[in-house]
Structures are given as C-alpha cells and as structure tokens.
Structure 1
Amino acid sequence: MGIDNPGPLNACPTKQARRVLGHRANRATEAPPMTFFRTHLAECPVIAVLRGLTPVAADEAAKRLWHIGVELVEITVQDAAGFDTLKAVALTAASIGRLIGAGSVTSVEAFERTVSCGASFVVSPGLDVELIDHANDRRVPYLPGVATPSEIQLARSRGVLDQKLFPSRELGGTAFVKAMTGPFPDVQLVPSGGVSIADIDSYLAAGALGVGIGSEITESVGAQVMGDWLALREAAPS
C-alpha cells in the first residue's frame, strides 16, 4: 500500500479532508503553541494514538487517518522502537505537509529526542511542571496529562489551558469532564484512555475539546468508521 493509495478510503475523502489536502501544506507552523490544540481539534476533535506499530504499519495508518481528515496523529515513544517509528512517519508527514506528534513522553530528554525526530507536538500521560516549562521555553505545542482538579489547577497556573485527561474512563469519563467545566471554565480537556469513536459525541457534549483514540482507528476498518463519523459531522446543520 503506497502513499497515494490509502485503501478503501481513497475513492471519496470528505470535504474536510480535501481542504487538508489542498490548503494546509504548512499547518504545523501556523498555530502558536498555546492555541495549537484548540486550532487543530476544532477541525477534527480527535488525536489518533498509534502505539506499538512498526514504521511501515504506522506510516500506512497515519496516511489513512490524514486522508479522512484527522489532523493530529500521535506516535507513542516508550522505547527505542517508538522513536524509530516516529522518525519514519515524520519524514512522510513533512513531505506532504501533515502533523505528527509524540506521546507517552515523560522526561525532558525524551522530549528533545522527539523534537529531533520531527515531532510537531508532544503529549504526556501525566503532569510534570519541568516538562511544561521546557515546552514553553522551546515553544513546542505540549499536552500534559492530568487526573485530578489539583493537577488541572497546577497546569493552568503554568499557562496550559488544554490538557489531556488520562485515564479518562477510569476517572469517570464524561461525568468528570462535565464536573470540571464549572471550576475551570477556561480549561479544555482532551480525554484519552478507553475512549471509542462511539463516545466522541457524548464527550464533546460534556465540554471536551476533543478525544484521544487508540487501537480502534489504527486499522483500515476503524479508520473508515472514523471517516463516516467525520462525514456525518460535516453534513450536520450548524
């Protein structure tokens, strides 16, 4: 399967995906770090998380997802193989003007390594003030993980208003997201962990900025379901 043949999705990309193909060759540099996630998740409220894939498999999965209109694709980098995969997919992303990020980043050293591999944004499973400050200094879009009101408040105090809620399902899912909109109206959460395509609408209704979805959309069948959801969303009256 090559770059120009993303399988069954090749025949009819959504209007949103066609806009991506035609007008976003340099989106990675357009949105400032502090508004990066709000900008891109407004277009498609999903971060696709690719975990444990070979470089070839991840490259093909990323191309399918970009094709249907998913703007933010994340490669987890928990080991050396993850960095190799990130570097390979980043080359493809750069060649066609797409965005690739790095997930499961837990140290400044790993942060710098992902950036050197070509990551446009960085995501962590937990909260680390040192990483927040480093990302701010480097002006790299960064999504820290939070799991409590105290962590949300701490990240907010460092200027981070877009935060990853993880593990969302275990923390209460949509109920937790909705509860946090009261005390933190300026913070927007991106739930991840046990989130499926079927959950997207309920999370958005609860006030989420977007969601992170993993293995469900890695394969072509799941990507097709995601594409159908995006097409229905686009066709719905505003």
Structure 2
Amino acid sequence: MTLDLTTELAAARVLAVIRGTDTAAAVATGIALLEEGVRVLEVALTTPDAPHAIAAIRSAAPAGALVGAGTVLTVGDVADVIAAGAQFIVTPAVVESIPEAVRRGLPVAAGALTPTEAYTAVRMGASAVKLFPAALGGPAYLKALRDPFPDIAFVAVGGVGLAEMPAYLSAGAIAVGVGGPLVGDAASGGDLDGLRHRARAYLAAAARPPAS
C-alpha cells in the first residue's frame, strides 16, 4: 500500500530536514528529533553516506514515524534510497527522480517555485509540492499560488524559521520543511541539546491552529 504522504505531512506540520557533514552526527540528530516527537524527517543526500544514515534512523524510528531522503536528483539516487529504506523522497527541483520514484511506489514532495514548475511536478506524479525557496516570495506568494492551484498540497521550505511558520500555515501550506533553523549544527557534530529544545518549540507551534 502506497504511503499517503500528503495526509502524513498535514498531520505532522513539520518536516525536519537533516543536512550535515558527519554521518554519525546525522544519525544522532535524526534519533534525537524522533525522541522529541518529530514524526516526519528527511536526510539530504548531500550528507556523507546518507543512505547509511537513512537506514540507521529508520531502524530506530518508532511506529508511525516517516524517514525520507532529500535532494534526490537522479534515477540512481532513487534506487539507492529505496535500498536504504527511505519511505518518501524530496527533490529541490523538477527532476528525473520524480517519475522514477512514482513508478517504484515511493511518494514524492517535489521542489518547485513557479506555477509552471508546480503544475509540472504534480503532472509527473508528485504527491506534494515543496515550495522552494519559500522565503523568496514569502507567505503572500504561497497564497497567490494556491488561488489557481487549490488542490496542490504545498510544503513551504527554505528560510522558514519558527517566527515565520504560522504565516505559512495560515497561507495554506500543509506543512513547513525546516533545516538549519531547527537542526542547527547538530548534524555536523554540534549541539544536540539545543536541537532538542528547538524541536519542542517547533512542535508546540505546530500544535496551535493556524490563524484564519
């Protein structure tokens, strides 16, 4: 049965993005996020030995948690992350990995910025559109995109900090993807305690209903 990524993201509201320079630290980061209650996370393939990190985090994940792969660009990348146990993929753009992942039963959050890119990504089979970099247009741009595309599930990613998160949710994002503002330097061997504190803050914000 194919995972309903849109429903899972809408329930979680926070997609944690792990992108670091150390494999073991990336694994520790993922486990810490899961322990704090984050339920959907991705490991970017720019992280050293990312497939190993994905497999290790997946093996430690509780029931109901989702571990995906980010920055998935090629057909080969799709094969690698499937072998590692990734449950979904995220792309930074409209790329060849989208139809390949869909063909192999893996849901996709596809990166797009323009209306044409968003429409194309969905036509290629993406379950959700990762509006990236969201900060380029802000919540008002997301709201404008949703007017012609009310049925596209948008995830705002790129420059979305804790202060900006409510505005994106109010503008119609089903979730926000957060890397640096949440993870900090933890995935490169840095502060895990700070990571845990920030994770709790993001989850508390996600639990509040968005302003109408």
* Fold shared per TM-score above 0.5: yes
Instruction: Specify the alignment match of 2:8 in structure 1.
Output: 40
Bigger fraction of residues in helix: 1
Q: 1:235 to 1:190 in 2, by over 3 A?
A: closer
Instruction: Specify the alignment match of 2:166 in structure 1.
Output: 201
Deviation of residue 232 (structure 1)?
Answer: 5.6
Equivalent-residue separation in structure 2 for 1:232 and 1:193 (angstroms) = 18
Q: 1:181 aligns with which of 131, 143, 146?
A: 146
Task: Tell me which moved more, 172-181 or 217-226.
Answer: 217-226
Equivalent-residue separation in structure 2 for 1:119 and 1:235 (angstroms) = 29
Instruction: Specify the alignment match of 2:155 in structure 1.
Output: 190
Instruction: Specify the alignment match of 1:224 in structure 2.
Output: 197
Deviation of residue 61 (structure 1)?
Answer: 1.7
Deviation of residue 233 (structure 1)?
Answer: 5.0
Instruction: Specify the alignment match of 1:150 in structure 2.
Output: 116
Q: For 2:50, what is the secondary structure of its paired residue? A: helix
Q: 1:122 aligns with which of 89, 95, 102?
A: 89
Alpha-carbon displacement from aligned partner over 1:193-215 (angstroms, at most 9, x marks no partner): 11112211110001111111012
Q: 1:235 to 1:126 in 2, by over 3 A?
A: closer
The Cα RMSD (Å) is 2.4
Q: 1:66 to 1:45 in 2, by over 3 A?
A: same
Q: For 2:34, what is the secondary structure of its paired residue? A: helix
Equivalent-residue separation in structure 2 for 1:144 and 1:224 (angstroms) = 29
| Count of residues in Structure 1 that have an aligned counterpart in Structure 2 | 202
Q: For 2:164, what is the secondary structure of its paired residue? A: helix
Instruction: Specify the alignment match of 2:35 in structure 1.
Output: 67
Equivalent-residue separation in structure 1 for 2:46 and 2:210 (angstroms) = 41
Structure 2, unaligned runs of 5 or more: 184-191
Q: 1:165 to 1:237 in 2, by over 3 A?
A: closer
Alignment pair present for 1:134 and 2:100: yes
Instruction: Specify the alignment match of 1:101 in structure 2.
Output: 68
Structure having the higher Rg:
1
TM-score of the superposed pair, with normalisation by structure 1: 0.76
Deviation of residue 237 (structure 1)?
Answer: 11
Question: Which structure's relative contact order is higher, taking Cα pairs within 8 Å and 6+ residues apart?
Answer: 2
Amino acid at match of 2:112: V
- 2:90–2:110 contact (8 Å) kept in structure 1: yes
Q: For 2:49, what is the secondary structure of its paired residue? A: helix
- 2:102–2:126 contact (8 Å) kept in structure 1: no
TM-score of the superposed pair, with normalisation by structure 2: 0.84
Task: Tell me which moved more, 52-61 or 39-48.
Answer: 52-61
Amino-acid identity (%): 33
Q: 1:209 to 1:235 in 2, by over 3 A?
A: closer
Amino acid at match of 2:144: A
Q: For 1:195, what is the secondary structure of its paired residue? A: coil
Deviation of residue 137 (structure 1)?
Answer: 1.4
Amino acid at match of 1:71: R
